[in-house]
Amino acid sequence: MNQQKKNILANGGSIGSGEVLRTLLGGLAPDLPASIFVTTRISAHSAGILAENLNSKSALPVIGALDGQPVESGHVYVAPPDRHLLVIGDTIRLGDGPRENMVRPAIDPMFRSVALSYGPRAVGLVLSGMLDDGAAGLHAIKSCGGTAVVQHPLAAKADEMPLAALEATQVDHVVHRDDLARTLTEIAGRVATGDHHPSHGLRLEVEIAAGRRLGSSELSKISGPSPISCPHCQGVRRGDPHGHAGDGGTRHAA
């Protein structure tokens, strides 16, 4: 019987993360038995050239994620502009659900999706960046038996995202940039153990990110209404009553 490994590596960052990702991917072996996913906080109108830039430094093939493509080991998938990169089952889905933490793609939806689909096999890495995107998603990965890794905030160009992640959950590894490739390689070789019991709320959040429209009764299970409305669509925003949804007021209700 083959034992499953911790071979689903999800990485999220913002300001200062591009250089870190190039260093990380440049240090990974071409035969790494893992699938790697990358979301960075980019504008919806971005040219979407991150995959091309990273591919020049990586021994693993780096490609822009496509909706419906199967997940393959030894590949790096990068979120495109204006879509959440989700992994549902063994298939990539590009979600057009609400912006989170003011952006789409956002890191939290990707982290939640790998937590839901892979449980103990999932590894989340929060890199340099502003605000707190990734903190709630890393908590979800850890809650589903996965592994939480954070770039050392003292060595990050922007320390807000690493610090928020450290506050949100009990992190397994805090790692300097130059040691990230070695650390992830070691983790990817470990057997994934532990129970995987994702909550109903986590399932709903992944469905919302994918684009499913939910009624108020379903939304009330994972969030409470806010008096703040979105300046772009005038929709009511909702926050997480459990304190695990980023800044608590950036997920739209519609």
pLDDT, tens digit (0-9, with 9 covering 90-100), for 37-68 = 999 999 888 888 999 999 999 999 999 999 99
238 and 126 part of one domain: no
At residue 48, the pLDDT reads 86
The closest alpha carbon to 139, from 5, 240, 223, 214, belongs to 240
22 and 125 part of one domain: yes
- Number of domains, the chain: 2
At residue 253, the pLDDT reads 39
Return the CATH number at 155.
Answer: 3.40.50.180
Residues of the chain with pLDDT under 50: 240-250, 252-254
At residue 178, the pLDDT reads 97
Examine the fold and report which residue of 161, 188, 215 is the final residue of a domain before the chain moves on: 188
At residue 223, the pLDDT reads 61
d(CA 146, CA 161): 19
29 and 122 part of one domain: yes
48 and 129 part of one domain: yes
At residue 3, the pLDDT reads 84
Range of the domain at 57: 8-188
| Angle ∠(86,231,240) on CA atoms, nearest 5 | 50
Q: Is residue 46 part of a domain?
A: yes
